Amino acid sequence: MWCKRILLAYDGSAASKNALKLAVDVAKQDQDIEIIAAHILKIYGAGVAQDSIIRQAEALADDLEKQLAEVPNPTRVELLRGDSPADLLLSCAHDNECDLIVMGSRGVGGAKGYLGSVSYAVVQRSEKCAVLIAKEGMHA
Asked whether residue 52 is assigned to any structural domain, the reply reads yes
The answer as to whether 140 is a domain residue is no
Task: Decide if pLDDT at 66 tops 60.
Answer: yes
What's the domain range around 68? 5-135
If one counts the domains in the chain, the total is 1
Q: Residue 19 falls within a domain, yes or no?
A: yes
Strands (E), 10-95: 34-41, 75-81
- Which of residues 90 and 2 earns the better pLDDT score? 90
Beta strands of the chain (E only): which ranges?
5-9, 34-41, 75-81, 100-105, 130-135
CATH code for position 113: 3.40.50.620
- pTM of the predicted protein model: 0.88
**Is 11 domain-assigned?**
yes
The pLDDT, as a whole number, for residue 53 is 82
pLDDT digits (tens, 9 = 90+) for 25-38: 999 999 999 999 99
Average pLDDT, the chain: 87
